[in-house]
Amino acid sequence: MIAWEVYEADLGWGLHPVVVVSHPARASRKEFVEILDCSTERSTRPPQDHEVVLDQSDGLDWPTLCKCDCIYAVPRCELKKLRGNVAMERRRQIVRTIISAHGWNVL
């Protein structure tokens, strides 16, 4: 398991795509990894300030909203089917959006 991989996981509301955002050292060896939750429904609206749109180039079936305002820590065994990897430009968007969504850019 490595950072920026897209998996499926059930966080208590059914299988959803999730993005691994843990530091590569954690993602490769720790029991718990950090993830972002994504919607399962096709995105039909522009992303809100705390969201980034992922799509087929990231391993998803259609444009999907990735929610960057809540980082979950889950046991790695909860991550199921590997879907793909987040494209480099969207990695940068996700990092910027996480920082902004948490207000860390004003520190």
pLDDT band for position 63 (cuts 50, 70, 90):
very high
Q: Comparing C-alpha atoms, which of 35, 42, 78 is closest to residue 60?
A: 42
- Going from the C-alpha of 74 to that of each of 26, 68, 78, 90, 105, the distances in angstroms are 12, 16, 7, 22, 26
Q: Average pLDDT for residues 65-76, to the nearest whole number? A: 97
pLDDT computed for residue 40 by the predictor: 77
pLDDT computed for residue 60 by the predictor: 95
Q: What percent of the chain lies above the pLDDT cut of 90? A: 90
pLDDT computed for residue 4 by the predictor: 98
Could you say which architecture CATH assigns to the domain 5-106?
Answer: Roll (2.30)
pLDDT computed for residue 41 by the predictor: 76
Asked whether the predicted pLDDT for residue 7 surpasses 90, the reply is yes
Q: In the chain, what's the furthest Cα-to-Cα distance?
A: 37
> Residue 96: in which H helix or E strand, if any?
helix 88-101
Tokens of 41: 């429904």
